[in-house]
């Protein structure tokens, strides 16, 4: 079965319904909620901390993460319509290895949860929030990549609020996985694009065609 994994950021949920409708193959949506989590943390007096794009997650932060994921998941399901199936990653068995230095954070492993496979097989659209068993907070880009590899997806598309990956002010049309990793390691990129590039590189190496907006990342 040809499958597309669509990763949607918390700041770019507006076009998700149109994106899902544009494919004539089964689509699995994985979403983040970065802006919402940060806003709610600040409202509660919690200071956001990041290491290479991953959010340092204490038990208090995890509570905010779960609530924010639930709200974004509901909004995306409403936008997609009747075919959407809301799925919490920790409840369906997303697998991740804990990263103790970041608190309750996990590095996801490729997997194909039965709930996702069954939904896709029934012609539905699973909408997955990136918590892993533990529960552990997982970067949404990394979770989407791990799911894409685990499901044997044909393609993963990272929807962003920018056209693609920029380098020296120019939109990059294609980037080798090895080059992407080297550039990240050298500090050429920072912020939210870092986990996207690394996740796209992992997906590409796992046999999944990976695109960040209009930028193709290939093995």
What value does the mean pLDDT of the chain take?
Answer: 95
- Of 58-67, 72-81, 170-179, 182-191, the one with minimum mean pLDDT is 182-191
Residue 52 lies in a domain: yes
Range of the domain at 125: 4-164+206-213
Q: For the chain, what is the domain count?
A: 1
Residue 50 lies in a domain: yes
Residue 39 lies in a domain: yes
For 22, 47, 62, 177, 213, the CA distances from 111, given in Å and listed in that order, are 26, 32, 22, 21, 24
Residue 196 lies in a domain: no
Residue 37 lies in a domain: yes
Residue 186 lies in a domain: no
pLDDT of residue 120: 98
pLDDT of residue 55: 95
CA–CA separation, 129 vs 70, rounded Å?
A: 8
Residue 78 lies in a domain: yes
Residue 183 lies in a domain: no
| pLDDT per position as a tens digit, 24-72 | 999 999 999 999 999 999 999 999 999 877 899 999 999 999 999 999 9
Q: Has residue 131 got a pLDDT over 80? A: yes
Confidence band, pLDDT 50/70/90 cuts, at residue 190? confident
CATH classification at residue 91: 3.40.1160.10
% of the chain with per-residue pLDDT over 70: 100
pLDDT of residue 9: 85
């Amino acid at each position: 079965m040809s499958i597309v994994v669509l990763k949607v950021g918390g700041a770019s949920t507006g076009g998700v319904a149109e994106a899902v409708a544009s494919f004539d193959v089964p689509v699995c949506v994985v979403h983040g909620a970065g802006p919402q989590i940060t806003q709610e943390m600040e409202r509660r007096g919690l200071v956001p901390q990041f290491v290479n794009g991953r959010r340092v997650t204490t038990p208090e932060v995890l509570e905010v993460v779960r609530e924010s994921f639930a709200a974004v998941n509901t909004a995306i399901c409403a936008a997609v319509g009747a075919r959407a199936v809301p799925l919490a990653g920790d409840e369906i068995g997303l697998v991740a290895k804990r990263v103790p230095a970041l608190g309750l954070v996990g590095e996801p492993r490729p997997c194909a949860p039965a709930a996702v496979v069954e939904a896709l097989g029934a012609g539905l659209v699973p909408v997955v929030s990136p918590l892993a068993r533990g529960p552990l907070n997982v970067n949404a880009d990394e979770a989407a990549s791990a799911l894409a590899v685990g499901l044997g997806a044909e393609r993963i598309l990272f929807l962003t609020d920018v056209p693609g990956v920029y380098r020296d002010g120019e939109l990059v049309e294609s980037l080798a996985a090895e080059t992407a990793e080297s550039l990240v390691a050298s500090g050429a990129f920072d912020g939210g694009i870092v986990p996207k590039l690394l996740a796209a590189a992992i997906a590409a190496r796992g046999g999944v065609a990976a695109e960040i907006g209009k930028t193709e990342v290939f093995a």
